[in-house]
Amino acid sequence: MQNTPNNPLFNDRYREKLFTALRLIILAAVVWFVVQALQQHRTGLLDIWQYAQASLTTGGICLLLLVLALTLLNWSLEALKWQALAAKIQPIHFREAFRGVLAGLSLNFATPASLGDYAGRIWNLKGDRRLENLGAIVLGNGVQFYVSLLGGTLAYGYFLGNVLPDSTAGHWVLLALLLAALVGGVWIAGRREAVPALFNRFSWLRPYGRFFRVMAQYSPREMARILGWATLRYAVFTVQFLLVLDIFGIPLPMADRLCVVSLVFFAKTAIPAFHFLSDLGVREFTALYFFGFYNVAPEAVVSATLTLWFVNILLPVGVGTVWLLRMRFGPAPVAQPITSE
């Protein structure tokens, strides 16, 4: 068989190579920026380590323990949101939702573009309808993105008005686009029932339409509940970031700290992460960029973001990996009905 452009095998291999090259280029670019930013300020890994050790005084350790406690709350809120979303297809216990969330987080270390999040949650379910939860996962991620978009838009407006008053027209155009995206998000949320119909318009998409029918089945009250979980989770990891900034002595007014934290989280949400290293790189990139306007020491910024990543991502991944190793990847038994907790 010849490899021609019409050969699906050829196309799949070509796309995979292109995708691999693209993620390596982006990762290299992000790492290059971080290294250049540190070298520009004559900061190295040894400086970061020494700065972190000096910052972890008795008070700093107490704050770090509080950040650790909030990590449990952070992922518990995500599990509650996932539990509410999955209930339309298959009611699950909170502990099953929590296992699925952390298993998906662990799989993200080995898969591109957050595909592991989908796989971990679905594989943790039982029964033959678990794939129909794909639409529920997409909806949940969309709601969380919208909350981050709202925070990022407000922060960007504050940033342009107070930190970058001489900004060019391009900045204001970007702000207008973010505002338009907020309005568009409300419009899309009101037309969720059109998503399954969109799949039916194309014959090659029609077989997958059933996986997204669930998106149209949530009532306004249920959507408000899901939005509430997403907003609470956003508030929790905002508080975590602020506490970490206190640990490493980044002295900025609260409004400015909230601004930078919101912009960092929005960039992390909006910029595709091809794997866990690029996710970490995006966090470092945006934090160094925005804190640079306040002349904050780079070693303080890197120490803070690395600590937050370690506590909020790496530790839960370790727990999720344990559950992942015990997870069945073959056909699952049919789920038994459960009573509400």
Cα-atom radius of gyration of the chain, to the nearest Å? 22
- 105 vs 266, higher pLDDT: 266
The count of other CB atoms within 10 Å of the CB of residue 114 is 19
Q: Domain residues for 49?
A: 11-326
Q: Residue 294: is its pLDDT beyond 70?
A: yes
- Confirm whether 217 is domain-assigned: yes
Based on the structure, what is the number of domains in the chain? 1
Assess contact for 125 and 90: CB atoms under 8 A.
yes
Q: Measured in Å, how far apart are the chain's first and last C-alpha atoms?
A: 57
- Of 52-66, 83-97, 141-155, 293-307, the range with the lowest mean pLDDT is 52-66
The count of other CB atoms within 10 Å of the CB of residue 266 is 23
Q: What DSSP string describes 229-257?
A: HHHHHHHHHHHHHHHHHHHTT----HHHH
- Confirm whether 208 is domain-assigned: yes
- Of 169-173, 180-184, 204-208, the range with the lowest mean pLDDT is 204-208
- 247 vs 179, higher pLDDT: 179
Short-list 184, 174, 169, CA closest to 153: 174
User: How far apart (Å, rounded) are the C-alpha atoms in residues 37 and 32?
Assistant: 8
- Confirm whether 144 is domain-assigned: yes
Please give the structure tokens belonging to residue 167.
């900004």
- Confirm whether 332 is domain-assigned: no
User: How far apart (Å, rounded) are the C-alpha atoms in residues 44 and 41?
Assistant: 9
Residue 276: predicted pLDDT: 53
- Confirm whether 111 is domain-assigned: yes
Helix (H) or strand (E) holding 170: helix 169-190
Residue 140: predicted pLDDT: 93
- 340 vs 247, higher pLDDT: 247
Helix (H) or strand (E) holding 283: helix 276-291
Instruction: Provide the 3-class DSSP secondary structure of residue 141.
Output: helix
Residue 298: predicted pLDDT: 83
- Confirm whether 340 is domain-assigned: no
- Confirm whether 6 is domain-assigned: no
pLDDT (tens digit per residue) in 4-53: 444 444 455 666 676 566 556 645 654 565 455 455 444 444 555 566 66
Mean pLDDT for the stretch of residues 136-154: 94
Instruction: State residue 189 phi and psi, 5-degree precision.
Output: -60, -35
Residue 192: predicted pLDDT: 80
pLDDT (tens digit per residue) in 58-112: 677 888 889 999 999 999 999 999 999 998 888 899 999 999 899 888 777 666 6
Q: Using a CB cutoff of 8 Å and minimum separation of 24, what contacts does 24-30 make?
A: 26/274, 26/278, 27/274, 27/275, 27/277, 27/278, 27/281, 30/278, 30/281, 30/282, 30/284, 30/285
Please give the structure tokens belonging to residue 43.
């900061």
Q: Residue 251: is its pLDDT beyond 60?
A: yes
Rounded to 5°, angle at Cα 94 from 109 and 341: 175
Any idea how long the chain is? 341
- 227 vs 303, higher pLDDT: 227
